[in-house]
Amino acid sequence: MEVKELLVVFEKMYLQENEIKEKITIRVQVLFTLILAVITVSSYMLRMLDLERYISVSASIIASLVVFYAGLAVSTKYAIRAFWGNTFKQMPPAVEVRGYCSALIIYNEEVEKAKSAHGAEAEVIDVRAEIDTYLCNVYEECATHNSEINQERSRKVHESFKWLLRSFVPLGIAGILFVGFDMDVSSPRKNFQVIDKYVGDQIGGVRNSIDLIASQVVELRKSYMSESKKTGNKPGGQSENVTVPLKTGAPVKPSGPPVRIVLEDDRSQSIEVSDEQRKK
C-alpha cells in the first residue's frame, strides 16, 4: 500500500479509538451512578434496621451487607482505574506540524544553496511526501497506543460490572429479609414511641417548679398556724377573748367584724375596715 492509502487508514483508526475512549468514559460514569445508587439503598437499610425485633434476621441482614460492601469495593476499584490514570497519545498541534513543513522547505533552500556554492551531494526532499510519511507514522503510533489503553480500560470496566452484579446477590438477600420481616424501624405498621428530649426537659423543669411552690405553701401554712397559736387567735382569724364593752350611759353601736383577706398562699390577714370605708 502507498503512504497516502495508509495515511487514510491510520487516520480513521485514530479517530475510531478516540470515539471508543469517550464511550468507555460514559460507561464508567454510568457505573459510578449505579454504585452510588446501591450505596444509598444499603445505607438506608443499615440506618433504619430494627435491631430489637428479630436478632437473627438483623444479623443476617448485616452479614449480607458486609459481603455486599466487599464486592462493591472491588467493583469501585476497577471503575476508578478505568476512569483515572490512563494516558493517551494525540496528534501534535497544528502549529508544530506547520512549523515542521516550513522547516523542510527551508532545508531544501539550504540544500540548493549548498549544492551551488560547495557542490554538496545532499538531495532535495519531497516536502509533500515527507509530510505524508510523518503523519502516517504519527497516526499509526497514536492509534496503536490508544487501542491498547482502550482495551485495558474495557477489561477494567468489564471486571467492575462483574463484581457489581455479584454484589447484587447479597444486597438482594438483605433487601428481601428487610422487607419480608418488616425490619424498618420507621414502618407505619409499628407502634413506636416518639421521645422529644427538649419537651421532656421542659416538662421536668415545670414539675420541679410546681414541687418547689407546693413546698413553700406548706411552709407558709405551718408558719401561719404557729403564729396563730402564739397570738391566741383561731385559724379563722377571730379572738377567743371577746371584749364586752361596759355599759356607761348610752349604748355604743357595735362594729362589724374585720374583713379577712386571704392571699393565694393561704396566709390570712385581718384588716380593720371603718364604717366610712364600708359605706364607700
Residue 171 cell numbers, joined: 444486597
| Residue boundaries of the structural domains of the chain | 3-180, 197-233+256-279
Average pLDDT over residues 58-65: 94
Please answer whether residues 265 and 273 qualify as being in contact, where contact means their C-beta atoms are separated by less than 8 angstroms: no
Between residues 248 and 52, the one the model is more confident about: 52
β-pair type (259-262, 268-271): antiparallel
**pLDDT confidence of residue 203:** 72
CA distance 98 to 127: 12
CA distance 19 to 13: 10
**pLDDT confidence of residue 219:** 76
Q: Give residue 7's identity as a one-letter amino acid code.
A: L
Mean pLDDT for all residues in the chain: 80
Q: What is the DSSP string of 65-91?
A: HHHHHHHHHHHHHHHHHHHSS-----P
pLDDT of 267 above 90: no
pLDDT in tens, 122-152: 788 899 999 999 999 999 999 999 999 999 9
